[in-house]
Amino acid sequence: MTKVSQSELAPPGDQQLLIEGASCASCVNRIETALKQVPGVSDATMNLVERSVMVSGNAPADSLVKAVEGAGYGATVPASSSDQETLAQKRQDDERHYQRLIRNMFWALVLGVPLMGYGVAGGSMMVTSRMDQLVWLVVGLLCLGVMVFPGRSFYINAWKSLLNHHATMDTLIALGTGSAWLYSMLVVAVPELLPAAARHLYFEATAMIIGLISLGQALEVKARGRTSAAIQRLIGLQPKTARVVRDGTEIDLPLEQLLVNDQVRVRPGEKIPVDGEVENGESAVDESMLTGEPMAVPKSSGDPVTGGTINKTGTLLFRATRVGSDTALARIIQLVRQAQNSKPAIGRLADQISAWFVPAMMIIAVVSALIWFNIGPQPTVAYALVSAMTVLIIACPCALGLATPMSIMVGIGKAAEAGVLIRSGDALQKAAGLTTMILDKTGTITEGAPRVTDIHLAGSLAEAELLSLVASLEAGSEHPLALAILESAREREVALSPVSEFAAIAGQGVTGTVADKTLLFGNQKLMAAKDIDVQPVAEAAIQMAERAETPVYLAVDSQLVAVIAVADPIKTDSASAIRRLKQAGISVVMVTGDNPVTAAAVAAEVGVDEFIAEVSPEQKSEKVVELQTRGERVGMTGDGINDAPALAQADVGFAIGTGTDVAIESADVTLMRGSLHGLADAVAVSQATLRNIKQNLFGAFVYNAAGVPIAAGILYPFIGVLLNPVIAGAAMAFSSVTVVSNANRLRLFKVGQSQ
């Protein structure tokens, strides 16, 4: 059925099938002929080298597969390129698998539960007479039925793994249940071979264990489905179609057919299908699903829009700039997926153990059996068998193997929901262990959009003329200060003149000639270097700095004419986010190229412990190294462009983006919204995830470390207890469910300011 729907979704015309088992030219003919006979097929052409066949027409894919199979070959539909289709397909597959496991559990328990009930109620599980032999033979055959039908996959998988020199969980289950059944059948067939006390039967164990483990696996399938909720939500953000304006008419097109530069119309309440630039219309767009930013963002002509966000108030006409796998959403999905499957260092130990685990358990089972056989109480054979069987059944490599990946899956997904993209499991582990966070001031703590707030004149030059000169000087510069000056000039509509001999002096300012006047525009260092006395404006400059504004001096022909205050407003929530970081046990350091007085004012306002002023970009990364050599684990947060060296040097680099159009490949962690709360969220989620992993690993280690010796009978000499294999089966089945469920608990973790 699914295959039919897939073919309906496929673009009309060609569909591809991958062929198995075709090795010669005559196969090509046979396969093509078989396909051409399917109703709806107009042509079929096979490529023997690629082992694929291209089929034209509108026949459903499953009838094509059947036709190829009918001709004696195998065929599959290649993996679908659409995430949504893949997801729907996966859900169906999981559901089918779940149903099958539940059926298996049912039939195994139908036999196992009455048998076990009979034993618990005091019924004899021994063979003492001919009649017993006959009755138990029937039970044994029924049990074989359970092994062959509901339990089939355990034995087949165990056998195939064995042939490939691998041992898996299936090996353990097959050996445990298989040996119980073989022993019991031996008792039924030739009881005389064994001492009377050892003629106990374990058919109920075989059936119960198969039933319980099937149940455990079914629950695991369900729980695993929930761990990928975040990625499913992201995939679900993408609409299936877009309303495209081509040649003046509007048509609804499947997303796959959208091209770059297509004009797309989105009405209020609709999802924006792909990334683009608004050409016409005004609206507010809800980007919270990607950035975690709750406020709708106003959009008008020239503004970028992002696929997957929701258009709220007006109709927008935009030009598609990125489609398909290039869109921000597609890249986010890809990044989250990749990160969810990466493993942090903490998980590697478990991996090492998993690799040795199963054969080691088999050896422990044999050793345990031998010990019982040699020095155990009578009947030694029965005790030896039970201990070996129980060791095999209780040992669970799954819990160990699943502990880390399941938590990482949920944790990274959870972070993505809050607009925090964590690149890898390693980055997450490091983020959880940070001791110091360095924050760049401009653009991180502040808005990064400075503006001129005050002009203090010190000469005869009028304000407008002065602004005209300095704006002309800065016209070619891209420094944030320059942008502030230009914006101010634009507001006051002053005219600009050409500039010559322009030079930027790193960390100091700029010089140049405008209208035959030599201009110097920069900080106190620049003025000092050029022997210009700033004393006349010293007081004004200090006042500006104390207001957290940056004073910039202007000299014309070696005469100081003004000091201009440029302020970069502090983001309203920076202080509360910094408080959250400090509550998480992280000391916060601010770095800035700004002067110490301004830096001190900003630091005091947002409550950072330590600040370093007047640092160049290179010095930022030196500062990171310095802290690292002091033994600190250092996070660096910056805009990801100017701070790139420091971001790379830090243990974890956080790139703070504004909006969704960020280079998401640039840092260990990308914060999709501008708020520093994203940073606090990233740290909080990382810490919670690492805690969760530790709980899981601890649980899995303790489970195996305690369960296996108990199963081997270590308690027997002291309190006379030997574990029942059925209990071992239940414990094993639920140990992996427990790990996955604990990981799912992370989904309830709340990110945000309230934390």
Interacting residue ranges for another protein, rule: CB under 8 A:
18, 20, 50-51, 76-80, 86, 89-90, 93-94, 96-97, 100, 153, 156-162, 164-170, 217, 220-221, 224, 337-338, 340-343, 351, 354-356, 358-359, 362-363, 366-367, 369-370, 373-374, 397-398, 400-402, 405, 424
**Residues whose CB falls within 8 Å of the CB of residue 249, separated by 6 or more in sequence, listed in order:** none
Bridge partners (DSSP) of residue 252 are: 243
Closest CB 172 distance from another protein, rounded Å:
11
Residue 23 burial (C-beta neighbours within 10 Å; 0-12, 13-18, 19+): exposed
| Closest CB 369 distance from another protein, rounded Å | 7
Q: Based on CB atoms, which residue is closest to another protein, 53 or 489? A: 53
Nearer to another protein, 364 or 469 (CB): 364
Q: Choose, from 440, 568, 594, 651, the residue flagged as catalytic.
A: 440
Nearer to another protein, 176 or 401 (CB): 401
Helix axes 677-712, 725-745, angle to 10 degrees: 170
Query: Which structure tokens are listed for 399?
Result: 């819990």
AA identity, residue 69 = E
* Residue 374: Cβ-neighbour burial (10 angstroms; 0-12, 13-18, 19+): exposed
CB-wise, 173 or 565, nearer to another protein?
173
Beta strand 634-638 pairing with 652-656:
parallel
Q: What's the order of all strands across the beta sheet hosting 610-612?
A: 420-422, 669-671, 652-656, 634-638, 436-440, 587-591, 610-612
What stretches of 395-424 show up as alpha helix (H) in DSSP? 397-417
Would you call 732 helix, strand, or coil by DSSP? helix
HSE-CB of 21 using CA atoms within 13 angstroms:
11
Q: Which is nearer to another protein, 194 or 570 (CB)?
A: 194
Q: Is 440 a catalytic residue?
A: yes
Closer CB to another protein, 172 or 710, in the complex: 172
CA gyration radius, the chain: 35
* Smaller CB separation from another protein, 349 or 625: 349
Number of neighbours of residue 713 by Cβ within 10 angstroms: 21
To another protein, the closest distance from the beta carbon of 28 in angstroms equals 18
Rank residues 83 and 262 by Cβ distance to another protein and give the closer one. Answer: 83
- Alpha-carbon distance of 356 to 351, in angstroms, equals 9
Residues 6+ apart with CB under 8 A from 205: 177, 180, 389, 724, 725, 726, 729
Least CB distance to another protein at residue 93 (A) = 4
| Complete DSSP assignment for 149-203 | TTTHHHHHHHHHHHHTT---HHHHHHHHHHHHHHHHHHHHH-GGGS-GGG-B--H
Which of residues 97 and 479 has its CB atom nearest to another protein in the complex? 97
Q: Min. distance of Cβ 380 from another protein in angstroms?
A: 9
Give the three-class secondary structure for 123: coil
Q: How far is the CB of 406 from another protein (least distance, A)?
A: 9
Smallest separation (angstroms) from another protein to the CB of 161: 5
Measured CA to CA, the distance from residue 270 to residue 308 in angstroms comes to: 10
Instruction: Specify the DSSP class assigned to residue 445.
Output: I
For the bound state, the minimum distance from the C-beta of residue 413 to another protein, rounded and expressed in Å, comes to 14
How far apart, in Å, are the Cα atoms of 375 and each of 198, 368, 378, 383, 721?
Answer: 16, 11, 9, 11, 16
Taking the complex as a whole, the smallest distance from the CB of residue 748 to another protein amounts, in Å, to: 22
Between residues 350 and 561, which has the closer beta carbon with respect to another protein?
350
Q: How many CB atoms lie within 10 A of CB 253?
A: 16
Which residues lie across from 318 on neighbouring strands? 264, 278
Q: How far is CA 313 from CA 196, 266, 267, 268, 269, in A?
A: 85, 10, 8, 5, 7
Smallest distance, another protein to C-beta of residue 53, A: 13
Q: Annotated catalytic sites, by residue?
A: 440
